[in-house]
Structure 1
Amino acid sequence: MGDKTRTQPGAAGRAATADRPSAIRNVVLVGHSGSGKTTLVEALALAAGAINRPGRVEDGTTLSDYDEIEQSRQRSVQLSLVPVEWDGIKINILDTPGYADFVGELRAGLRAADAALFVVSASDGVDGSTRMVWDECAAVGMPRAIVVTHLEAARADFDEMTAICARTFGGEDPDAVLPLYLPLHGEAGGDGHAPVVGLIGLLSQRIFDYSNGERAEQPPDPEHLPLIEEARNRLIEGIIAESEDETLMDRYLAGEDIDVKTLVGDLERAVARGSFHPVLAAAPAADGARYGLGTVELLELIAGGFPTPPERELPAVTTPDGKPRPALECDPAGPLAAEVVKTFSDPYVGRISLVRIFSGTLRPDETVHVSGHGLEDRGHEDHDVDERVGALSMPFGKQQRILPSGIAGDLVCAAKLGRAETGDTLSSKDDPLLMEPWLMPDPLLPVAVQAHSKQDEDRLSQGLSRLVAEDPTTRLEQNPDTRQVVLWCLGEAHMSVVLERLRGRYGVQVDAVPHRVALRETFGVASNGHGRHVKQSGGHGQYAICDIEVEPLPPGSGIEFVDRVVGGAVPRQFIPSVEKGVRAQAARGIAAGYPLVDIRVTLVDGKAHSVDSSDAAFQAAGALALREAAASVRIDLLEPVSEVQVMVADEYVGQVMSDLSGRRGRVVGTDQSGPGRTLVKAEIPEMEIGRYAVDLRSLSHGTGRFSRAYARHEPMPAQVASKIRETAGAGA
C-alpha cells in the first residue's frame, strides 16, 4: 500500500480462482449514478490483467453493463460480478447500480461483500443516498474505503473532496478518513487546469508517475517535501491512534521514526476492522496504456487492507423450522451454507443463481437443500425442497467460465436451480439450514398491467412469476377487489426496467393501466327497501316479495343479515335465498360499483307462492330490495386510509409535512430517530400516495424513506366522491 513496486498482473482470459478463503476478497462498489463505478471496475480489470483492452473481454463483448437494457439506457441497473487476481489474491468486485430505484441490487451486493469501496466523483460530491448507505455499513461494522474519481474535471479538487469526505463520513472522528496519496499535477494547460499525472505516496514518500501510460516509481522532488510532510504526519497520527500497540503513540511523540512496515501493518488492520477509512484517487487508463491512475494502489489496498472472508462474522443460521444452530465459520470443510444473492436468466442455460458461499464447499451435480425466505407477501413462495445443482461457473462479462467447485468465502454461479430464488439458502440435504435474511426494500410504487393480446395473456402468469423470482424488490398482487394484476416496484425507472424485461426476456407484452384503489360503499342513514320479483311466462312463473330494513354499522362490521319474519310470510327455506341475493348485490355495489359494507339488513316481511316461488326468485327479490333501499338515501363512498411513516433528514421535515397535508393527510406525530433524522407519522388516503415513492425521493433529494400499512376505510369527502361517481357513471 504505497511501498510496493509494480506488481505482475494476471493473464487475460484466465478465470481468477482461489484455493483457500484467506486468498479471497469480496468488495462492493457503492456510489451515486454517474460517479464512475463501472469505469473503475474496467480500469481495475485492465490493471490486473483480466482484460487486454478497456471494458472488453476476449470475445469483444463488454465487461460491465453488458445487459441489453443497460446498454440501451447507458446505466447500470443490476448487480454484476467481475473477478480479478492480484498478488495471488482473488478479488470479487461487485458493481452495483447507483440509481435509487435499484437499491435492491445494492443490498444484495452488500450482503455478498466483506468490504465496501465508496466511489465519489470529485466534480459532484457526496449525495444523501450515499451518506445513508455509509451509515448502514457503519451500523454493521463493514470496512469501508473511499476512492475519488473524475479528477480530470475542470472543477475537480481532490483536497476539497477529501475534506468533504472527512466531514461527511468521519462524523466525530474526521481523522479516521484520510488520504493515503496526494495527486501529482502536471503542467497547466491553456484553460489553467493542471491535470493529475501521478500520485504521491505519503507513507512510502515516493512518486508514482502515470504520465507516460505506465506506472513509474521515483523519489519526490524537493518542492513536494513540505506538502508530503504535513499530510504524512497527520496520516501517521491517524494510523497510530487506531493501532493496537499502545506504546506506538508515545514513541512517535518522542521523535522516533516509526518503521513504514509497522505503519502499513497497523493501517491494514485498522481498515480490515472498519475503524479507519483511507481515501484514494483513481482514473481510467489512457488509450493503449495498461494502468489507470491509482489502479495499482487501489488493488494493493483491497488485497492487503480489506478483510478476508474468515475475518468477517457470518449471518446467523437456524434449521428451516426455526431452531437455533451454532454459529458458522468460513471453513471449506464445514457444513454447506450458501445464499442466492441474485437470480437471472440466460437464453441458453436458463436460470442462473449467483451464490455467496459462507461455509463448506459447493460442487456441481450435487443435491442441495433449498430453504427460504419469508417474502411470500411479495409473490415469492417459501421453499423447503431438494434440488440438484448444475454446472458451477465464474461470470466474466457475458461469459461463464466453468469451475470445478466453489469454496467458503467465494462467489460462484450455479446453473439449473429451478426453484431457488434470490434470498434462498443452499445447504446439505442431510443438514438443512436457513440463513437470517438481509433487509429487502419494500416496493411501494404500484403499476397495474394487463396483457396486450390474447397470446400475451396466455404467457403473462408464467412471465410474471419468473420475473418476481429474479427480483425480490418487486411484489406481484392479484387484487380481488379491483380485479387488477399489480406489480409493485421501487420507482419509475425500476418499473420501466421490469416491464422491459418482461417483454424482452419472456416475450410478454403488457399495457400499463391506471391503478385503482379498493373503495367501498355504505349507507349514510337507515332506509327501507321493497323487493318484488313477479313474472309469468307460461308454465311455472317466478314469485317472490320481501321487505327489508337497512341500517349503517360501525366501520369494519361487514354485512349482518337478520331474520325477523313472523307468521311464515317468507317460508323458512327461502330466507337464506334472500340473504344470498342481498350479499351478491352488496358485492356488486349499489352506487358506483364498489362493494357495500358495514350495514345490517333485516328481513321483516314478504310473500310467497306455493308453486311459483323459488330460490332464484327470492335471490332476485333480495337484490331488488337492497337497490330500492339505496335509491332514496345518501350512500357514502369509503376510501382506504394508510398509516404512513416517513423517515427524512431534519432539513426536509417542513416540506414533507406540508406535502402530506396537501395530500389530505393528517400528521399524527414526529419522533427524533438518530442524529439529523426525523420520523414523521401520518394517516393518508391511499388514493393520494400512489406515486409517493417517486415524489418523496424528489422532495427529500433521495434521502427520504417511507413505509405504509392499511389502517381502515373511512368516508371520502363529498367533492372527491362526486368525481368518483361521475367517472363510474361515464364508464358505465
Structure 2
Amino acid sequence: MERRLAGEDKIENEIEPRKKQEVVSTQKEGEQQPARPCLPARQAVGGPVQEETEGEESLSVEAEIEVKAAEAGEQAEEIQETAEQQGEGRQVKTKEEEPLKENERKEPSGAEEQEVKASQEKVNPVRDNLPLEKRLISNVEKIKPVLKSSVDLSKVRNIGIIAHIDAGKTTLTERILFYTGKSHKIGEVHEGEAVMDWMKQEQERGITITAAATTCNWNDIRINIIDTPGHVDFTAEVERSLRVLDGAVAVFCAVGGVEAQSETVWRQSNKYNVPKITFINKMDRMGADFYRVVKNIEVRLKANVVALEIPIGAEADFRGVIDLMEMKAYIYNDELKKENFSIEDIPADYLETARKWRHVMVEKAAAVDENLMEKYLKDEDSITIDELRGVIRKGTIANKLLPALCGAALKNKGVQSLLDAVNLYLPSPVDLPPVEGTDPKNPQSVIRVTPSFDEPFAALAFKVQTDLHAGKLIYFRVYSGCLEAGSYVLNASKDKKERVGRILQMHANQKENRKAIYAGDIGAAVGLAYTVTGDTLCDPDRPIILESIEFPVPVVSISIKPHNRTEQDKLSNVLIKLSEEDPTFTVKTDEDTKEIILSGMGELHLEIITERIKNEFNVAADVGQPKVSYKETMLEAVTGEYKHVKQTGGRGQYGHVVMEISPLARTQGFIFESKIKGGKIPQNFIPSIEKGVIEAMRRGVYAYCPVVDVKVTLLDGSYHEVDSSDIAFRQAAINCFKETFPKGNPVLLEPYMFVEVMAPEEYVSNIVGNICQRRGQILNIDTKAGEKIISAEAPLSEMFGYSQVFRSLSSGRATFSMEFKRYEQVPSGIAVKVVEEKKKEKESKS
C-alpha cells in the first residue's frame, strides 16, 4: 500500500482529522425526486453517515477550529430541518418571492375557470390516496416552472485582471465599470474610493488585498470580472481566480514592463491554460515606451505578441492610438464620457510606422492559420478584417497569440478599445474544451462537463468570504446546469449534501439576490456550512469531483497570544473564519509551549491578518515578531525499530513497528508505504501508524520544525491480540520516527526569495553590496527606462526589515519586490546556531 501527499503543507492538515458529525437523513423512502438540469428548491436532503474519530486527547487550537466548524455545520442542518418541518403543507414566501403588483395581476377568463374547476373535480385514485403533504408536494412540482436562462453562453466572458503591483489593475477596472454603465462615478485608488477595493485595509494602503468580483455589459456581451491583487503576499487570490476564469487581461506598466510579479501571475495563468490579451498601461508616464515593453514581454514571457494598436505620442504627449485593423487614429480628449474620442485619418508622420506594424500583425496571424497563410502569400491586401479577427481570436484562445493594446487608464484613454478586444478575442465558455472531473466512486473514470443549461449541475467553489451580515459566502463558478436558491447540492469533495440558502450576484462587497444561477456564470452562495475553497458542488444524482486548487506553502510565521480566556474563545472563532477564507494562512499550536503560531506568505500578509483580528473582529491579543518557517529533511536512508509496551493494571498497550526513513527530492512532500505481509500487523492498524508518523513529522525532531521530503516504509512489526490498539501503534510510530530520523544526517531548510530592485544607477553599488552581505546572490543587472533592474536571490531570514534599510540606501528613490522561490539547505555553520536557538526557545517556554 502506498499513499502520497501532494506537498509538505498537507502534513499539518493530516494530524488532527476533522471530527465528523453524524448526519441523519430526513428523506423518506421513495421521496427522492429525479435529477433535473436546474436543481429544484426544497429537494429532499440526505447524506452518508460519517464515522467519529476516536480518542479523548485535549484539543489544540487548529483541532478546536475544526470541531467548531463541524458543530456550526450541524447546527445549520438542524435549523434547516426544523424550518422544513414547520413549513410542511403550507407555502412559505421568501424575500425573493415578491407579490405581483396590481397592474401585473391577470384575472382568469371564464373558459380558464371552467378548465381549472374540471381538473380539480376529476378523480385521481393514485393522487387522492396519498397523504396530504405528498399531494401538496406533487402539485407544487407539477405547476412549478423550470427556470431558463435568457443569456446566450457565447455572449459571456469570464475574465480576470492580472498584473504586478501598481500596474494599474484596479484603476483600469474602475474605468471599465464606468464606461459599461455599472457605476456612475469613478472611484480613484489613490483617494481610497475605488469600488473594487472595498476592504478598509485596501482603502488605507491603496493596494488590492482580496480578489473582488463584479459583472457588467459591453455592447451585447456580459462580462464577469475578477480584479486580483498584485502583491506577491496575496498570490493565493490570483491562483484561485485564474482556476475558474476563461480569459484574462494582463496589465503591464509602460515604464516598468515585465516585473517580478508579472512573471508569477503569467506562470499561474499558463498553469490553467488561460487565454490572455495584454493592456500596456500608463502610456502617459515619463519613460513610457510601448515598443520596448512589447519586446520585453516577448523575451521574458516567451509570448507571441500581436499588436492591434500602436500609440500616438508618449509620456505627456500621449493623445491616442492607431487601430491597425481599421487603419484609423483614435484621438482622445479629456472629457469623461463613453465616447471621449474622435476617429480620424492616421497622421502623416505615423503612416509608415502603422503600415509596418499592420504588416507584422497580418504576418503573425497568418503564421497560425494555414488558410490565411495561403491568402497572405497570394495577396496580403485581399485579407478582410473579419478574417483577421477570426484567426487572431482562434490563436488567442489556443494561447498561440497575445493581442496587445495600450492606453492610460487614469486619463481614461484606451479603455473602450480594450473592452472591444475582450468581446472579440477572449473566449466564451462554449469556446473552451469541456472541463474534466472524476467519479467519486471511481477516481480513474474521467467525466467531461460541457457548458450547457441542460446538463447536470456542476460547480467549483473558489473563494470563501466572511460577511458581517450574510455570514459565510462561498464564491463558485458554474460549469454546467442550473441551481435554484433553496435547493440542495452535493459537496462531492466532502460527500455531504448542503442547502443553498441564497444565491447572490456580487459587485465588490455589494450583493444582489438571484433566483437561480446558470452554466458559465460566477456567483456566491449563503448557507453552505461545510464547503471550502476547492470543493466541488454538483447534482446529488450525478456526482463529480473537479480539479481542486493548489496553493503555495506559507514561509513566515508569528506568534499570537490572547489577553485572557474570553479573548481566547473569540480568537478561536476568528481563526476559523480567516483560515477558511485564505488557504495560505495556517494556524497551529506548539504541542509543548501551547503557543499559537500563525503562518502566511510574507510580512505584509500577516500584518493585514493581525490588523483584522484586532480591529475588524475586536480581539485583544499580543503579536510576536515574524519568524522564518524552517523545515527539516534528511540526506541518508536509515532503518529503526520501536516497541511500545505499557501496562496500567487493566488492558495494556502494545505496538511494535520497524520502519525505514529515506530522503526524497525537494518538494516531493511525504510518501508512506506499507510492506507488511502475512498479518504481522493487522491492516486496520496501518492508518494509525501513518498518522503517528505524520504527527512526529509535524512536531519536528532536529530543530522542532516540520519534516518534509521523506519516504517512510513500514517493513515489519508485531501485535498483541488483547493489548494492541490504534493508540498504541500510533505512539509506537511517533517514537520510532523520533529515534530513527536523527540517524539519517538531518539538515535544515530555509525559504529563498527572488528579489527584484529598480533603482537609479548611482545607488546600484550600495544595493548590490547590501544584498551580498545578506547571503544573497546577484542573478542579473539590466537597464530599463533609464534605471537599473537588479535581480537577485536571498534567504528570507536575512531580508526581514529590508524595506527600511532599502529606503535609506536609495534615498527613497528605488522600488523592490520579493517573492518566495524555493527551500534551500541552510549552511551548516548557520544551521547549528538556528538549532540551538530553537531548542533554547523550546526549553524556555516548556
TM > 0.5 between the two?
A: yes
Partner of 1:446: 557
Kindly tell me: are residues 719 and 258 of structure 1, through their superposed partners in 2, closer, same or farther at Cα, counting changes over 3 Å? closer
Max radius of gyration: which structure? 1
Alignment partner of 2:459 out of 335, 338, 354? 338
Structure 2: segments with no counterpart, 5+ residues: 1-148, 631-637, 654-702, 706-741, 758-767, 777-792, 807-814
- 1:283 is aligned to 408
Q: 1:221 aligns with which of 338, 343, 347?
A: 347
Q: For 1:518 and 1:474, how far apart are their aligned partners in 2?
A: 13
Distance 1:100 1:234 in 2: 35
CA distance 1:560–1:419, shift in 2 (3 Å): closer
CA distance in 2, matches of 1:701, 1:447: 21
SS at match of 1:49: coil
Give 2:359's match in structure 1, choosing from 211, 215, 233. 233
Q: Identify which of 283, 303, 306 aligns with 2:426.
A: 306
Code of the aligned partner of 1:301: A
Spell out, residue by residue over 1:555-594, the C-alpha distance to the aligned partner (whole angstroms, 9 max, x if none).
Answer: 977798999xxxxxxxx989x99xxxxxxxxxxxxxxx99
State the match for 1:348 in structure 2: 469
Q: CA deviation at 1:77?
A: 0.4
Counterpart residue number, 1:263: 388
Give 2:548's aligned amino acid.
P
- Supply the AA of the counterpart residue of 2:538: S
1:441-461 CA-to-partner distances (Å, cap 9, x unmatched) read 122222222213332112122
Q: Is the deviation greater in 60-69 or in 206-215?
A: 60-69
State the alpha-carbon separation in 1 of the partners of residues 446 and 244 from structure 2. 21
The separation in 1 between residues aligned to 2:799 and 2:386, in whole angstroms, is 54
Q: TM-score, normalised by structure 1?
A: 0.68
SS of 1:274's partner is coil
Map of 2:325 onto structure 1: 203
What's the CA shift string for 1:463-501, capped at 9, x where partnerless?
111211111111221232342222221111111122222
Structure 1 pair 342–639 and aligned structure 2 pair: CA distance change class (3 A): farther
- Other structure's SS at 1:141 match: coil
Instruction: Give the conservation status (yes or no) of the 8 Å contact 2:458–2:536.
Output: yes
Q: Partner of 2:409: helix, strand, or coil? A: coil
1:319 corresponds to = 439
Aligned partner letter, 1:496: E
Counterpart of 2:274 in structure 1 is 142
1:98 alignment partner, one of 222, 225, 230:
230
Alignment check: 8 A CA contact 1:206 1:218 kept: yes
1 CA distance for matches of 2:260 and 2:291? 21
> In structure 2, what is the Cα distance between the partners aligned to 1:419 and 1:366?
16
- What residue is the counterpart of 2:307 in the other structure? 179
Amino acid at match of 2:525: A
Q: Give the SS at the match of 2:592.
A: coil
**Match of 2:525, SS?**
strand
For 2:775 and 2:380, the matched residues in 1 are separated by 65
User: C-alpha offsets along residues 144-185 of structure 1, whole Å, 9 cap, x if unaligned?
Assistant: 1111111111211222222222322335xxxx2032111123
Shift of 1:334: 0.9
CA apart distance, 1:266: 1.5
Q: Which amino acid letter does the alignment assign opposite residue 132 of structure 1?
A: T
| 1:491–1:693 contact (8 Å) kept in structure 2 | no
User: In 1, Cα distance between the equivalents of 2:829 and 2:743?
Assistant: 6
User: How far apart, CA to CA, are the structure 2 residues paired with 1:99 and 1:109?
Assistant: 15
SS at match of 1:93: strand
Which residue matches 1:80? 212
Residue 223 of structure 1 aligns to a residue whose secondary structure is helix
1:80 and 1:154 map into 2 onto residues whose CA distance is 30
* Aligned 8 A contact 1:345 1:351 in 2: yes
Q: How high is the sequence identity, in percent, across the aligned residues?
A: 23
Q: Which one scores higher on RCO, CA 8 angstroms, separation ≥ 6? A: 2
Pick closer, same or farther for the CA change 1:275–1:513 going to 2, 3 Å: same
Corresponding residue number in structure 1 for 2:368: 242
CA distances 1:297-323 after superposition (whole Å, capped 9, x unpaired): 111111111011122235432233453
Asked if 2 retains the 8 angstrom alpha-carbon contact of 1:178 and 1:278, the reply is: yes
2:477·2:522 contact (CA, 8 Å) conserved in 1?
yes
Q: 2:622: which partner in 1?
A: 511
Q: Distance in 1 between matches of 2:833 and 2:616?
A: 45
Amino acid in structure 2 at the alignment position of 1:185: G
CA distance in 2, matches of 1:354, 1:228: 44
Q: Is the 8 A contact 2:462 2:476 kept in 1?
A: yes
User: In the aligned structure 2, how far is the partner of 1:486 from the partner of 1:731?
Assistant: 14
1:274 is aligned to 2:402: no
SS in 1 for 2:393: helix
CA-CA distance at 1:720 after TM superposition: 7.0
Residue 707 of structure 1 deviates from its aligned partner by 4.7
| Letter paired with 2:344 | Q
Aligned to 2:485: 364
Q: CA deviation at 1:219?
A: 2.2
In structure 1, the partner of 2:590 is: 479
Q: 1:465 to 1:727 in 2, by over 3 A?
A: closer
Partners of 1:182 and 1:202 within 8 A in 2? yes
Change in CA separation of 1:19 and 1:694 when aligned onto 2, cut-off 3 Å: farther
Find the residue that maps to 1:63 and give its secondary structure: coil
Aligned residue type for 1:449: I
**8 Å Cα contact 2:407/2:413 also seen in 1:** yes
Given the alignment of the two structures, is residue 63 of structure 1 paired with residue 195 of structure 2, yes or no? yes
From 700, 705, 715, the equivalent of 2:821 is 705
Check 1:261–1:462 CA distance in 2 against 1; reply closer, same or farther (3 A cut): same
How much has 1:103 moved relative to structure 2?
0.4
Contact kept in structure 1, 2:389 and 2:424, CA below 8 Å: no
Compared CA separation, residues 149 and 355, structure 1 to 2 (3 A): same
Look up the equivalent residue of 2:215 and give its one-letter code.
P
Tell me what 2:291 maps to.
159
Question: Is contact 1:445-1:690 (8 Å) kept?
Answer: no
Shift of 1:277: 0.3
**Does 1:39 pair with 2:171?**
yes
Per the alignment, do residues 692 and 485 of structure 1 end up closer, same or farther by CA in structure 2, a change over 3 Å counting? farther
Cross-structure match for 1:500: 611
- Comparing both structures, which one devotes a greater share of its residues to helix? 2
1:104, CA displacement in angstroms? 0.2
The aligned amino acid for 2:357 is A
Matched, 1:294 2:414: yes
Residue 152 of structure 1: SS of its match in structure 2? coil
1:394 to 472, 489, 505: 505
Q: Unaligned regions of 5+ residues in structure 1, if any?
A: 1-16, 187-192, 287-291, 373-382, 520-553, 564-571, 578-592, 596-635, 664-679, 683-687
Q: Secondary structure at the match of 2:528?
A: coil
Match of 2:552, SS state, is coil
Distance across 2 between alignment mates of 1:126 and 1:219:
32
Q: How does 1:301-700 map to 2 (within 5 A)?
A: 301-323=421-443, 324-372=445-493, 383-513=494-624, 641-642=747-748
Whether the aligned pair in 2 keeps the contact of 1:197 and 1:209 (CA below 8 Å) is yes
1:692 Cα deviation after fit: 8.0
Matched residue SS, 1:316:
strand
- Aligned residue type for 2:432: R
Structure 1 residue 401: deviation in Å?
1.8
Report the Cα distance in structure 2 between the residues aligned to 1:257 and 1:140, rounded to whole angstroms. 37
Deviation for aligned residue 1:230: 1.0
User: Which amino acid is the alignment partner of residue 323 of structure 2?
Assistant: G
Q: Distance in 1 between matches of 2:541 and 2:374?
A: 53
* Alpha-carbon distance in structure 1 between the residues aligned to 2:270 and 2:260: 15
The residue number in structure 1 matching 2:686 is none
Tell me how far 1:43 sits from its aligned partner. Answer: 0.9
Amino acid at match of 2:572: S
**Over residues 651-706 of structure 1, what are the superposed CA-to-partner deviations in whole Å (9 max), with x where a residue is unaligned?**
9xxx9xx999969xxxxxxxxxxxxxxxx9x9xxxxx977889999x999646522
